[in-house]
Amino acid sequence: MGTKSVIIRAANAFVALNRKASKRLEAHLPHAIDILYQYIEVVKDVVNAMPRNAVVVDVGGGTTCPFARVLKPGASTMIIVLDISEDQLRCNNDANSRLVADVMKSLPFGNGTVDLVTSRSVLEHLGDVAAFVRHSSEVLKPGGYWIHLFPSKFAPFALINQLLPKTWSRMLVRTFFPSQKGICGFPALYDVCYCSAIVNLLLKNGFDRVDVMPSYYQWQYFSFCFPLFVASAAYALLVWLLGLRNLAAYLLVVARKAGP
């Protein structure tokens, strides 16, 4: 066995031990919530309350729409997935329709024809979130919903991602998060991706109700090194206790377009 293989195996063993220790501590952290699960539950509840044949647009849905399989039977919901990658769309079996589109330029629907525009881990990659919000408001029906989950601009991992050269960011993803390289490998810009800014933007674009569910927990980014995990958990706990939503790790935003 070569020296390189021994080093790689030792590094993998070190990371595995640190992640195991981090996972044990996680069980005792009051602010450790599964925000993706919360997102799926919110979308499910909103869509299930809609009339039959509701039109749901999943932006950047890629290969799967995680909420599709938990909707109530017989709802006849039309799920349309938009993505800039045609290759990703080909693998999506959850959607009724698949469209290639650049959502910053337009959403390919008529005004007032969509019941819900939703996404997860997409907004941080958009260079002009304001344009996307305007397009969303145009295509949504009065009373329609805008539900999006995305990382916050001022979270520690997001700040690191913004400061590091892109080649370093990609290398770190490949090294410590290989299962997420297809998700996290795109450039992250974090335009308007913090609580106060996104709320103000939505209120200026025809939404009359905006609810924000912040998540302060970011264990997956630091669990490979237990001391870093402890430091990040302590920081997140403090921010959570102080209710500093602009410093949250993730934001789940539920906005309703003005209407009946």
| Cα distance between residue 198 and residue 22, in whole Å | 32
Domain boundaries, the chain: 3-257
The pLDDT value recorded for residue 165 is 67
Return all residues near 159 (Cβ < 8 A) that are at least 6 apart: none
The pLDDT value recorded for residue 1 is 53
Element (H, E) at 173: helix 166-176
| Cα distance between residue 48 and residue 51, in whole Å | 8
The three-class DSSP label of residue 217 is coil
- Greater pLDDT, 23 or 117: 117
Tokens of 90: 């080909």
- Greater pLDDT, 236 or 3: 236
- Render pLDDT for 180-222 as a digit per residue (tens, 0 to 9): 443 444 578 899 999 999 999 999 999 999 999 999 987 667 8
The pLDDT value recorded for residue 110 is 95
Residue 52 has pLDDT above 80, yes or no: yes
The pLDDT value recorded for residue 42 is 96
- Render pLDDT for 146-173 as a digit per residue (tens, 0 to 9): 999 999 999 988 888 887 766 655 555 5
| Cα distance between residue 201 and residue 128, in whole Å | 12
The pLDDT value recorded for residue 219 is 67
Q: Are 82 and 61 in contact (CB under 8 A)?
A: yes
Closest Cα to residue 191, out of 246, 123, 259, 137?
Answer: 123
Residue 108 has pLDDT above 90, yes or no: yes
- The CATH code for residues 3-257 is 3.40.50.150
Mean per-residue pLDDT, 40-50: 94
Q: Are 249 and 152 in contact (CB under 8 A)?
A: yes
The pLDDT value recorded for residue 78 is 93
Q: Are 122 and 93 in contact (CB under 8 A)?
A: no
Q: Kindly report which listed range (16-30, 35-49, 163-177, 243-257) carries the lowest average pLDDT score.
A: 163-177
